[in-house]
């Protein structure tokens, strides 16, 4: 049987997540100063975060979604990313804020930023990640906005999965090894 949360230690509580998202949204509101933005949510991991963040934004907001897949053993990034043929013409000429669950090696973020710049013509392009694992970065990509810096642990919950499971947990946890 797959246990949903009994084998997890809590790293960030639901309350801490929600409080930080509200203050992060204020930073984003200040930065864009009322200008319209498009939140480009990276499926599937950033869904919870993008939805909760969006509720606190005060400028006109559109939401778009992109799906990437990386191939690896599940807990480490292989650096190979594919995007599925999403038509994102909606983002041309707009202030685009990519919303991700986590930056680890930074390879996914780098791929995505280059992909968007090659295929589309956003007015501005920024990157917002709920979690930031700085120790494991393999490039110089840094998020413009992020919620929490975390150490190098494999985390699950609040959108982040373990083999597809546990995305629905309202907190962020990790397996004690």
7 a catalytic residue: no
Smallest distance from ligand IMP to CB 30, Å: 26
Give how many residues touch ligand IMP by CB under 6 A: 16
Q: Which of the following is catalytic: 7, 30, 52, 104?
A: 104
Write the Ramachandran bin of 38: left for phi over 0, alpha for psi from -120 to 50, otherwise beta: beta
Q: Is 79:105 a contact under the CB 8 Å cutoff?
A: yes
Nearer to ligand IMP, 11 or 125 (CB): 11
For 85, the token pair is 């043929």
Residue 132 interacts with ligand IMP (CB under 6 A): yes or no: no
By the 10 Å C-beta count (0-12 exposed, 13-18 middle, 19+ buried), 149 is classed as exposed
Angle between the N-to-C axes of helices 47-55 and 14-32, in degrees from 0 to 180, rounded to the nearest 10: 60
The interface with ligand IMP within residues 89-128 (CB under 6 A) comprises: 100-109
Binding mask 29-68 for ligand IMP (x = CB under 6 A): ----------------x-----------------------
Residue 147 interacts with Mg ion (CB under 5 A): yes or no: no
What residues are annotated to the active site? 104
């Amino acid at each position: 049987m797959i246990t949903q949360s009994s084998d997890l230690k809590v790293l960030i509580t639901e309350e801490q997540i929600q409080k930080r998202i509200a203050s992060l949204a204020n930073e984003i509101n200040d930065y864009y100063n009322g200008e319209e933005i498009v939140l480009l949510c990276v499926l599937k991991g950033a869904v919870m975060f993008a939805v909760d963040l969006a509720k606190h934004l005060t400028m006109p907001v559109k939401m778009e979604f992109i799906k990437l897949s990386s191939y690896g053993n599940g807990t480490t990034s292989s650096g190979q990313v594919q995007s599925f043929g999403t038509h994102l013409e909606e983002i041309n000429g707009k202030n685009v804020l990519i919303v991700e669950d986590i930056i680890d090696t930074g390879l996914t973020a780098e791929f995505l930023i280059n992909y968007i710049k090659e295929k589309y013509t956003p007015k501005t392009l920024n990157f917002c990640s709920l979690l930031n694992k700085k120790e494991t970065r393999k490039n110089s990509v840094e998020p413009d906005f992020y919620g929490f810096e975390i150490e190098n642990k494999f985390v699950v919950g609040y959108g982040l999965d373990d083999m597809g499971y546990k995305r629905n947990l309202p907190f962020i946890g990790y397996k004690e090894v």
